[in-house]
Structure 1
Amino acid sequence: MGKWSRRAFIGAGVAAGGALVVGIAVRPGNPIDGLSPLLTDGENEQLLNAWVKVDTDNIVTAVIPHVEMGQGVYTALAQMLADEMDADWSKVQILEAPADMQYVSDSIGRDFLFPNLQVPALIEPTVAGGILELAQAMGLQFTGGSYSVRATGQRAMRTAGAAAREMLVAAAASEWQVPAAEITTADSMIIHAESGKSEPFATFARAAAEQSLPAKPKLKSPENYKIMGQPKARHDIPEKVDGSAVFGIDADVPGMKYAAVKAPPVIGATIESMDATTAKTMPGVLQILNMGDFVAVVADGYWQAQQALGTIDTRYSKTEGDGLDQDAIFARYASHLDEAGEDGGDMQTEAGDITKGFTEAATKVEAEYKVPFLAHATMEPMNCTAWVRDGKCDVWSGHQAPVNARQAAADAAGLPFEDVTYHNAYLGGGFGRRSDSDAIIMATRIAKATGYPVKMIWSREEDTAQDHYRPSATSRFRGGLDKDGKAVSWDNIHTHLFDPADAPTIPHYNIASHRIRKVDVSMHLRFGPWRSVDHSQHGFFIESFVDEMAHAAGKDGYAFRRELLAKSPRHLKVLDTAAKMSGWGSALPEKHGRGIAFVPSFGSIVAQVAEVDMSGPKPRVTKVYVAADPGFVVNPDGFTAQMESGIVYGLTAALYGDITIKDGAVQQSNFHDYPMLRIDEMPEVEVTLINGDHERLGGGGEPGLPPIAPAVTNAIFAATGTRVRELPIAKHDFA
């Protein structure tokens, strides 16, 4: 942090009306005029790559380069900037950055592309410039992977806030003819106690822009935080409560028409023919389009379009996926794993002598686990409104990567990037699904073909059948225990590896000999990031097998994990906290069980204990205890909500989530056969947060999910003696 070069430095500008604008200038000569119309009120303001501006009313506006999809990122990032700036939180406003290359995140680029990169100071400017160019090439204005706070917040928002404060102080020191060291700041005020002078930030906005640019502004230490670490109310909640919040599906353009779409049920097929005789006669229908890879009906209203679409008889081309069923997919996985045997596959991690470890093991344990394909099932179905006319294109939607969405629309419209305006909105659920631009592309193509502004909405059936799914997977384990029941060897081979690369690894567990391998299996389905990505699978795999090894060793699951974490005190504290919260070891009613799971992911350490009631016809999760250490918690209420949210999403998948394939197509269609967790099924959740390392912040949106499935299945085993090795739990009969 703080290593800024000539290619990436803190810059400042002053608006004509007296507003100070501070930002990260990614390179000299950036087209500031292109950003000004998007972020300023008119001729009285001038923009310079802004992260923050102070207007004449002393309002601090934080420009957030991430999207709000319920995770509270607007508020958390604004807290980080405002705290370093010593702003009055009650006067802080928030503005989402536009879909523009100026707002790609080199901070995320560094963490995503080179997570452990350490370079000498001499070449840091060159490396920083190269990473920036890579980030721009990838369009990394992206919200996901729990990067917002730990990357953008730490490296950009805090730095910009600290720089703004130092420039304001320098301006005041010059005006008052006093040493800058004698000046303090608080609540958007500049104060010189000795002379009794104090003025709002706005007073020195013009002069501040003329100060030397602080190349390395001083950041606060945690004991001086006033806003970070506090449970500040989220800025987006009031308008979501009163209904004024605008989501992608709320777009309203004069003269707008509606489109319903249907793509071939088997991925890769095309439209060979269609009979739309009936649809053409139905009220409100304006156009029926064969787009090659999907059929679209454009009408005066969405229901008219959807009803007409249902009458069209469509024939599709043959594909390699035709005839492929769920059993055949898992058989393909098994075949690849069998071919790899004990020594094949692609090596990911290896330590110690795995052969010796198993030869000398007193007890050997083997198990195989399976998880299904999963859909995202966002509550707001996929949608996009587009208007292509006069060599320009406007697009309205909610997307996790606005720059990429804008580029996708430009490509679909056949226009230059700069001729597309992308209007981002709140996301009614993202979870990775809205990082793909398929809906943007389809809507833009329809708008181009019709000439209307068109709002395209996927039906829930289309949403379920055309998702970019969380992959199904199979994972096989062998474990070795010595005569004292200590884990001495670990061998794992699994199908697929997408992101992140560390998901199958176990660096936190002290096992002398371990090896992790993978095999790749081709598949015709589309895969995409799903909340917590590969940790959603491997959290279940690893923590289930750890429990099996504990049982084989004749040890309690918590005690067994304590042994494995003995050399990792920070991890051990999280595990111990969760166990203590739950009263681990205390008696439970008959047919009740308690299970524990421990999954570090996305820079955060999370342990969960689930209590399950098995006395009824199906498992009922009654209570979940969560201990989490993300390094430092910027907004405790927001982080707690993310732990709870991860449990809702993960528990839904663990209990019910199951996308199955028949004849190459997805069988599920709506919530009747792809159910969500209902409010009466939600367990009580208790969360304890730990600030374990304020220098290294972890994420909040992803890490709450991976432990819940194994915590629940381990609890089921404790209550019934039945081990669940395949999800969803609903597939199993516990009677």
Structure 2
Amino acid sequence: MKQTNGLSRRDFIRQTSLLGIALTIGTYGVASGVPEIINVQTTGKTGIELLAWISIDTSGKVTLRNHRSEMGQGTFQAIPQMIAEELEVNLDQVTVVFAAANPKKFGPQPQEGSFSVRGWYKQLLQIGASAREMLIAVAAKQWNAERSDCYAENGQVIHRPSGKKLGYGLLVEEASKLTPPQNVPLKLRKDYKIIGKPMRRQDTPLKTNGTAQFGLDKKVPGMLYAVVERSPRFRGKVTRFDASKTKAVPGVKNVFMVQRAVFGTLTEGVAVVANSLWAAMQGRKLLSVEWDDSGFDHLDSGQLSAQMRENLGKPGPSEKFEAVWQSSVRKIDAIYETPYQSHSCMEPLNCIAHVQENRIDIWGPIQEANWIQADLSERMGIPKENVTVNMTFLGGGFGRKGFTDYPHEAALISKTMKAPVQVVWTREDDMRTGPFRTGASYACKGGVDKNGQILAFQMITAAQWIGQEWSPKPYPDPEPPSYNNGTTEGMLHSYLKAIPHYSFCGVGTRAPIPVLWWRSVYASTNGFAAESFIDELAHLAETDPLTFRRNHLPDKRYAALVDQLETISGWKSRGKQAGWGVAITECFGGICGHIVQVSRKADGKLRINKVIALIDCGWYVNPDIIRAQVEGSIIMGLGAAIKHATTFKDGKAVHQNFNTYEMPRITDTPYIEVHIMENDEPAGGVGEPGLPPFAPALCNAIFDLTGKRIRMLPFNLEDV
């Protein structure tokens, strides 16, 4: 990076952009849930500051703040693109920066549930429109013109009759004194200039030229480094440790026991703090720790699977459902199993914390800024307004970096050291410690009537529920198993209108293994069981699988997706030399269908030829981001289906790095084609809905080609 008189180019741009007066405008969600656009003036070199989504300095430079984390899903582009559309500025005129956690200014900032666009698009459009109207009002007053004769375009206000123009920078001071208008009419979609267009992402140049700042890139003055030795079993306690050799390593500053909160459990470790990451890691290698592993089961994967299968029978039979099922003209039952999975983000966990007397500052790859702010405030006894959570780019998140444990651990280490400390997890720390995606077992029953329609459908789920982990109850849980309403997550809502008799139930499996959200959460496993079993019922009814689904989707939106999927894939013209499989799932406001094509190679081994994906996410911002997210979801789903799983032996995670937890390589990746439905539906999710259909569509394609039904993941494609 070019340096000028000790000032980096990045710092120069950041500081000079703050000169002059700025208009900062935002939205605040009031109790009624209706966003109110407000404007409060403050003094200082940043000019006017409110809910800082939009700032415009007197030179006309526009700064837009992204209040959500950016872990590759595209918020750094999509959120500014929404604001800029109504503000009437081009994105090449804009600087985008991250906003720190501040729920009073920005409202909820969690990055989960594919919520950034679907949860915020109306508010963000309104913010841009209100700012635009304030600027137009000032220009009209200066010209003594009618407001209706003025319009905004390309960062300036134009007087239509005379052609006179005023840039936003010349209007911002007076505009900042106005009361922002409420409920400004928004553009019709046909009038959009940048929304709906495949625009280049603002973060791509930063990530290709090396200037993007991820958590591991962040440095603060006086910062120390820490690594933590953690128990290889998930609830092990420190009995004693010998740090004599560790402390002899040059640069090691301190060695001490530390805890971190994992749901209702405080897990223990030994922190090694040094003046460099290398010294800390070398010191940890010489550390000797004895662990107390009593009081909890040391489970193997086989024992977990057996426990879940046993739990499938705990709800007991429903006499009413059993009678209907038995009356079916044809009926079938099957058990499906999915494994535990690691998040395995390409950027391992890391966090910088600086704890002072009545203040905490956090920097890092944070996925859930508000939650971490609130958690640290409560645990450390510091007012929430004195806890600042600064977000960097995330090298992947998938739910793991939304958890509170790693910032909590960093804060405790910083408090002990009375200095800023960056805690770094190695790949092995991450993959053997978790939390993980839960494994799951499914007992499915179904029957069809004489017309080939589903008469009865039942799915019982046995899995560890994420919600159970917040309970501090002793392990093992002495209470009866709990039930969870997440058992239908991933299944098409419209199915339930067409199936006359259905039953869903979930049994919570208790284990000492911590589990957490994993991209698309329960839908990633539910979808495999549900859509594989729907396919089994289609063959039981002797009906084309795509037609069978259409016959059970009475809502027009779902039927339209099936029709479009049939058209873009050429489903009706498919030959007999390849296997074709289809699956359609729904989660987080998005509906996605996949068609997978497989064939035999010359050596007789299976090959995935092509994946055709069609996503219905309703109103959308940037089609390039959507395609990238669905492609990434498919590759992640591919890995979980045929490449990797986290297994356990004697209470320890077996797979600790990519040498055994294999990721898909480019040679494993099939041709992927992504299409987007065009309709007038509200905005839905994108980052997660593209994953669940892949595994069932692949297995359904394999059945179509080979007649072999795969009901357990992962499997080796070459062994089929």
TM-score normalised according to structure 1 size: 0.85
**1:414-447: CA deviations, max 9, x gaps?**
5443444333210010010000121112222222
- Which whole-Å CA distance do the structure 2 matches of 1:614 and 1:312 have between them? 52
**1:615-656: CA deviations, max 9, x gaps?**
458643231111111112210111110110111111111112
1:343 to 1:90, Cα distance in 2 relative to 1, 3 A: same
Q: Is the 8 A contact 1:170 1:211 kept in 2?
A: no
The residue number in structure 2 matching 1:669 is 656
**Counterpart secondary structure, 1:428:** coil
Q: Please point out which of 558, 568, 573 is paired with 2:546.
A: 558
**Counterpart secondary structure, 1:172:** helix
The residue number in structure 1 matching 2:58 is 56
The residue number in structure 2 matching 1:151 is 119
**Counterpart secondary structure, 2:313:** helix
Q: Please point out which of 584, 593, 597 is paired with 1:607.
A: 593
Q: Please point out which of 308, 329, 353 is paired with 2:304.
A: 329
Equivalence map 1:197-596=2 (5 Å):
197-291=164-258, 293-343=268-318, 354=321, 357-389=324-356, 391-410=358-377, 415-496=382-463, 502-503=488-489, 505-509=491-495, 510-565=498-553, 567-587=554-574, 590=577, 592-596=578-582
CA offset at residue 301 of structure 1?
3.0
- Which whole-Å CA distance do the structure 2 matches of 1:372 and 1:618 have between them? 24
CA offset at residue 229 of structure 1?
0.4
One-letter amino acid of the structure 2 residue matched with residue 302 of structure 1: L
CA offset at residue 505 of structure 1?
4.5
Q: Is the 8 A contact 1:267 1:321 kept in 2?
A: no
CA offset at residue 494 of structure 1?
1.1
1:416 to 1:362, Cα distance in 2 relative to 1, 3 A: same
**Counterpart secondary structure, 2:72:** coil
**Counterpart secondary structure, 1:76:** helix
**Counterpart secondary structure, 2:719:** coil
CA offset at residue 529 of structure 1?
1.0
1:18 to 1:284, Cα distance in 2 relative to 1, 3 A: closer
**1:551-597: CA deviations, max 9, x gaps?**
111222122112122x222212222323333322445575x422111
- Which whole-Å CA distance do the structure 2 matches of 1:557 and 1:631 have between them? 25
Aligned residues: 665
The residue number in structure 2 matching 1:706 is 692
One-letter amino acid of the structure 2 residue matched with residue 548 of structure 1: E
Q: Does 1:22 align with 2:9?
A: no
Q: Is the 8 A contact 1:321 1:663 kept in 2?
A: no
Q: Does 1:654 align with 2:641?
A: yes
1:213 to 1:446, Cα distance in 2 relative to 1, 3 A: closer
The residue number in structure 2 matching 1:84 is 86
The residue number in structure 1 matching 2:104 is 102
CA offset at residue 247 of structure 1?
0.4
Q: Does 1:734 align with 2:719?
A: yes
**Counterpart secondary structure, 1:291:** strand
The residue number in structure 1 matching 2:623 is 636
- Which whole-Å CA distance do the structure 2 matches of 1:505 and 1:247 have between them? 36
CA offset at residue 297 of structure 1?
1.6
**Counterpart secondary structure, 2:117:** helix
**1:651-692: CA deviations, max 9, x gaps?**
111112311222222221111121111121111111111122
**1:257-300: CA deviations, max 9, x gaps?**
32221211222221011233433333443322222600122233
**Counterpart secondary structure, 2:708:** coil
1:392 to 1:340, Cα distance in 2 relative to 1, 3 A: closer
**Counterpart secondary structure, 1:170:** helix
Q: Please point out which of 697, 710, 716 is paired with 1:724.
A: 710
One-letter amino acid of the structure 2 residue matched with residue 153 of structure 1: Y
- Which whole-Å CA distance do the structure 2 matches of 1:177 and 1:284 have between them? 69
User: Which moved further from structure 2: 391-400 or 59-68?
Assistant: 391-400
Q: Is the 8 A contact 1:406 1:420 kept in 2?
A: yes
**Counterpart secondary structure, 1:729:** coil
CA offset at residue 389 of structure 1?
4.4
- Which whole-Å CA distance do the structure 1 matches of 2:87 and 2:624 have between them? 22
CA offset at residue 409 of structure 1?
4.3
User: Which moved further from structure 2: 468-477 or 239-248?
Assistant: 468-477
- Which whole-Å CA distance do the structure 2 matches of 1:400 and 1:371 have between them? 26
One-letter amino acid of the structure 2 residue matched with residue 701 of structure 1: G
- Which whole-Å CA distance do the structure 1 matches of 2:215 and 2:193 have between them? 35
The residue number in structure 2 matching 1:31 is none
**1:15-63: CA deviations, max 9, x gaps?**
99442221124579xxxxxx999xx9x5351202222122212223222
- Which whole-Å CA distance do the structure 2 matches of 1:305 and 1:322 have between them? 32
One-letter amino acid of the structure 1 residue matched with residue 522 of structure 2: D
Q: Is the 8 A contact 1:504 1:516 kept in 2?
A: no
**Counterpart secondary structure, 1:308:** helix
Q: Is the 8 A contact 1:412 1:444 kept in 2?
A: no
The residue number in structure 2 matching 1:112 is none
One-letter amino acid of the structure 2 residue matched with residue 303 of structure 1: W
- Which whole-Å CA distance do the structure 1 matches of 2:282 and 2:576 have between them? 53
- Which whole-Å CA distance do the structure 1 matches of 2:278 and 2:91 have between them? 45
**Counterpart secondary structure, 1:339:** coil
**Counterpart secondary structure, 2:571:** coil
**Counterpart secondary structure, 1:525:** coil
Unaligned runs of 5+ in 1: 1-14, 29-34, 106-139, 345-352
**Counterpart secondary structure, 1:443:** helix
- Which whole-Å CA distance do the structure 2 matches of 1:396 and 1:88 have between them? 30
1:64 to 1:367, Cα distance in 2 relative to 1, 3 A: same
The residue number in structure 2 matching 1:141 is 109
TM-score normalised according to structure 2 size: 0.87
CA offset at residue 359 of structure 1?
4.3
User: Which moved further from structure 2: 478-487 or 298-307?
Assistant: 298-307
CA offset at residue 195 of structure 1?
3.0
Unaligned runs of 5+ in 2: 1-17, 32-39, 260-267, 467-484
Instruction: State the identity %.
Output: 34
One-letter amino acid of the structure 1 residue matched with residue 131 of structure 2: A
- Which whole-Å CA distance do the structure 2 matches of 1:372 and 1:584 have between them? 31
1:86 to 1:629, Cα distance in 2 relative to 1, 3 A: same
- Which whole-Å CA distance do the structure 2 matches of 1:83 and 1:360 have between them? 58
1:431 to 1:246, Cα distance in 2 relative to 1, 3 A: same
Q: Is the 8 A contact 1:229 1:636 kept in 2?
A: yes
1:187 to 1:554, Cα distance in 2 relative to 1, 3 A: same
The residue number in structure 1 matching 2:95 is 93
- Which whole-Å CA distance do the structure 2 matches of 1:81 and 1:643 have between them? 24
1:389 to 1:491, Cα distance in 2 relative to 1, 3 A: closer
- Which whole-Å CA distance do the structure 2 matches of 1:211 and 1:451 have between them? 46
CA offset at residue 101 of structure 1?
2.5
- Which whole-Å CA distance do the structure 2 matches of 1:582 and 1:684 have between them? 13
